Structure 1
Amino acid sequence: MHDYLISVKKRFELEKVLAEKTFEQINDEALFWQYNEESNSIAIIVQHLAGNMLSRWTDFLTTDGEKPWRERDAEFENNIITRQALIANWNSGWDCLFNSLNLVQIEDLNKEIFIRNESHTVIDAINRQLVHVAYHVGQIVFIGKMVSGPKWESLTVPKGKSAAFNAGKFNK
């Protein structure tokens, strides 16, 4: 189970880095671009993820993951208007997640906790968060690719470069 905690922290960190590498490739205007009024900008997704992480990970083992102070609907409004504020919001969510995750002990993993009054083991709650983060980071990367067009630099194996990538990995 110790290996699980190490693995999940690594997976969260990788998702965080993918999004941050996307932020680095796009200009400020692109952070707030929306395909249409019904879609989310990167900024809105960041607000939502930060709000979700703050709610879920504040007093993670002792209180319901849906905090009474959370204003989820407001997370989907254009409340943040600068890159600096967006990054600060992003980091506050991640700091809360990692600080709380670092307190989880092996003996906590099968404990029962609640999210929206629904019972979860700690393992299930962590997995639920990881899937949720990955879902939205995928959206962030996709929007980043759309707004960047041909200037986009792949964050993983570039299209059409799998053979060269694999050769480099397996010929070491």
Structure 2
Amino acid sequence: MGHAEPENELGLLYLQDALARMQGVRELGEAALRQLLPEHWHATLTEGENSVAILVQHLSGNMHSRWEHLLEADGESGSRDRDAEFKDAGLTPEQLWNCWNAGWEVFLGVLTRLQPADLTRSLTIRGEMHTVLEAIQRQVAHYSGHVYQLVFLARHWLGADWQTLSIARGQSREFNRQMEERRRR
């Protein structure tokens, strides 16, 4: 068996990394969502701003629109009502979880199926040409930004009850020690 072409190896590494990073972003968001009380989902810092519910609605709508028919149609599906995503639909936390999961399943499912050769294929998003690689990068930044907004809101609403999703303040040395210990095993 011969060696894979360098660009295929690089493309495969990129796809694997994008998938792993976006799975991590999903897990980060879920760790924040699991901490919310029912009243936190729809709360906003000021009138007219996004709530956690609105962020979930928007992420799911975008994921369905951009990824359900990748390469077959414009990345802005005709059935999408983007403006409605930014109006609180009054969904229950359970309905919002279903919305969240459905969107991520579409997006991550497509990332799982893409092949290195797909990265240079062309597609359109709102009539603008992109390669698949550019579309992935666009969404990695977009989805990460909204998930971090969601984390910020969850942390704000929970206050002192917030359970950190990262290394706790003042615990960096201990974390590094534990990582070194694991590496030695």
**TM bin (shorter chain):** over 0.9
Q: How does 1:38-53 map to 2 (within 5 A)?
A: 38-53=48-63
The answer to which of 101-110 and 63-72 deviates more is 101-110
Q: Given the two structures, how large is their TM-score scaled by the length of structure 2?
A: 0.89
1:80/1:86 contact within 8 Å kept: no
Deviation at 1:89, TM superposition (A): 0.7
Return the offset for 1:171: 3.4
Instruction: Measure, in 2, the Cα distance between the counterparts of 1:124 and 1:59.
Output: 16
Q: Distance in 2 between matches of 1:164 and 1:150?
A: 22
* Identity within the alignment, %: 38
Q: For the pair shown, which has the larger CA radius of gyration, 1 or 2?
A: 2
RMSD over aligned CA atoms reads 1.0
In the alignment, structure 2 segments of 5+ residues that lack a partner are 1-10
Instruction: Report if the CA contact (8 A) 2:41-2:53 is conserved.
Output: yes
Map residues 1-172 of structure 1 onto 2, 5 A cutoff: 1-172=11-182
Where does structure 1 lack aligned partners over 5 or more consecutive residues? none
Q: How far has the Cα of 1:81 moved from its partner?
A: 2.3
CA distance in 2, matches of 1:112, 1:21: 35
Q: Does the aligned pair in 1 maintain the 2:57–2:100 contact within 8 Å?
A: yes
The structural deviation recorded for 1:95 is: 1.2
- Alpha-carbon separation, structure 1, partners of 2:174 and 2:90: 41
Shift of 1:92: 1.1
Runs of 4+ in 1 over 6 A off after TM superposition: none
